[in-house]
Amino acid sequence: MNASENAVGGTGPRHLRDVTVEWLTECIRSQGDDGTVSTFTATQLGEGVGMMATLNRLTLQYSSGSGPATLIVKFPGELEANLAVAAQFGLFQREVLFYQRAAGRTAMHTPKIYSAEIDPNSEFVLLMEDLGGMRTGDQIVGCDADETAAAVDELVKLHSVFWNSVGTPEFDFAPIVDAVGQGDVMHSLAIASWDAMNAVHGDAVPPAMESVRQRFLDAIPAMHAWLGKGPLTLIHSDYRLDNLMLGTPPEHPAIVALDWQGVMRSKGIEDVAFLLSQSVPIEIRRRIEREQVERYRQGLLAAGIDYYATQESAWEDYRRCVLYLWMYAVLISGALDPRIERARKVMSAIVSRSATAIEDLDCLSLLPEFEDAPRRP
């Protein structure tokens, strides 16, 4: 299920209206099938949710040979505001180049890619396998213990392969977490988003978090600098349940990770903290998080990475990341449209889980580390 390293080209469509049976046939045959596509129909997925990209399921008919019955095609979205954000952060480029350059080098399960192309103006196409036979993760419901363990195992597969080896130009598509144009912009957006978060989800923000608002915001650059010191690896950076597909082995992998628009270079344990503190229901997290952080550490050790020599060293970095990732709760909750009921419920769950994790783990006691720490010049 790993993406093909050869899914590179520049002649494919950039809009659904331009998809042809000839192009589909070429893509399918490039991955080893012999089918000739005669007709197809398209059904839009996720209509009306205002996402960065549009997704369509293509149902294929063949005049000869065989191939997949359905595929998913992804193009840029239509909302100008979202397209501006995508261009500012290079989100489409990150995802396409991740599939072109990195996905095939890791055992982490990602969708099989039939075509991945992008132009300098960020027009792109992704043609990928349809994972409709798997279950879409539900951020509101959250991960159970088994799903969490499987998701942590997938992170080990990703992080271990690229651990301390992402400093060459081929990885420039994935910004370093504290880079100019990345960390500083995220900091500014967090400052601008806090009031919007309070306007909708203020009842989920505990007084302790509100009381350290300015201290937390002032500490973000130092948190970025700490994350940017490494060791660096490729991280998903938006590793939450809505971006995971869940399966039942052996028919399907337990977890397949989607939506690589946020891929960057940072400390790997950031992904672990994001998953546990914002996608796992509070009571389940309290019960399993120490064993899951240790599961991650042991997975790295088995892969030959001994950066976390002790349980406590991994645990303390995990706590630091849980604190830092409050920034993401602020950013996302301040950006989503509260008029959409599901968006409102998703963000209420994320804000509540994140704030409670910070309180449970006494993460606010870590703030002085970052208030006195050096920052990027």
Residue pLDDT, tens place only, 119-166 = 988 899 999 999 988 999 999 999 999 999 999 999 999 999 999 999
8 Å CB contact between 146 and 97: no
Q: Give the pLDDT confidence score for residue 375 in this predicted structure.
A: 60
Sign of CA dihedral 331, 334, 336, 340: positive
Judged against a pLDDT cut of 70, whether residue 51 lies above it is answered with no
Q: How confident is the model at residue 302, as a pLDDT?
A: 98
pLDDT in tens, 195-241: 988 888 777 788 999 999 999 999 999 999 999 999 999 999 999 99
Domains and CATH numbers, the chain: 16-129 (3.30.200.20), 135-371 (3.90.1200)
Using a 10 angstrom Cβ sphere, with 0-12 exposed, 13-18 middle and 19 or more buried, the burial of residue 31 is middle
A 10 A CB-CB count for 13 gives 18
In the predicted structure, residue 8 carries a pLDDT above the cut 60 = no
pLDDT at res. 206: 86
CB within 8 Å of 54: residues ≥ 6 apart = 16, 44, 74, 75, 76, 77, 78
3-state secondary structure of 205: coil
Identify which of 234, 253, 243, 245 has the alpha carbon closest to the alpha carbon of residue 328: 243
Query: Other CB atoms closer than 10 Å to residue 134's CB: what's the count?
Result: 18
Q: What digits encode the pLDDT tens for the residues 272-323?
A: 999 999 999 999 999 999 999 999 999 999 999 999 999 999 999 999 999 9
How confident is the model over 355-367, as a mean pLDDT? Answer: 97
* 82 pLDDT more than 80: no
Q: Give residues with Cβ within 8 angstroms of 299, minimum separation 6.
A: 152, 153, 156, 160
Q: How confident is the model at residue 9 (pLDDT cuts 50, 70, 90)?
A: very low
pTM above 0.75, yes or no: yes
For residues 305 and 260, the answer to whether their CB atoms sit within 8 Å is no
* Average pLDDT score over residue span 1-29: 77
CA separation, residue 275 to residues 122, 200, 271 (Å): 29, 23, 6
Residue 6 has pLDDT above 50, yes or no: no
Mean pLDDT of the chain: 91
Q: What are phi and psi of 112, to 5 degrees?
A: -65, 130
